[in-house]
Amino acid sequence: MKYLLTLYAAPGAEPAPGTPEFDAMMGEYMTLGSGIPGIATFLSGEGLQPVETATTLRKRAGKVETMDGPFAETREHLGGFYLIEAPDLDAALRFAELIPAARYGSVEVRPVMNY
Kindly give, in sequence order, each residue whose CB lies less than 8 Å from that of residue 47, ignoring residues fewer than 6 positions away.
Answer: 29, 79, 80
pLDDT tens, position by position, 47-58:
999 888 888 888
Query: pTM of the predicted model, to two decimals?
Result: 0.85
pLDDT tens, position by position, 16-34:
999 999 999 999 999 888 8
Report the distance separating Cα 6 and Cα 45, nearest Å.
Answer: 10
AA letter at 5 = L
DSSP state at residue 17: T
Report the distance separating Cα 23 and Cα 33, nearest Å.
Answer: 16
pLDDT tens, position by position, 35-82:
888 899 999 999 999 888 888 888 999 999 998 876 666 678 899 999
Report the distance separating Cα 6 and Cα 83, nearest Å.
Answer: 9
Report the distance separating Cα 113 and Cα 34, nearest Å.
Answer: 24
3-state secondary structure of 51: helix
Domains and CATH numbers, the chain: 2-111 (3.30.70.1060)
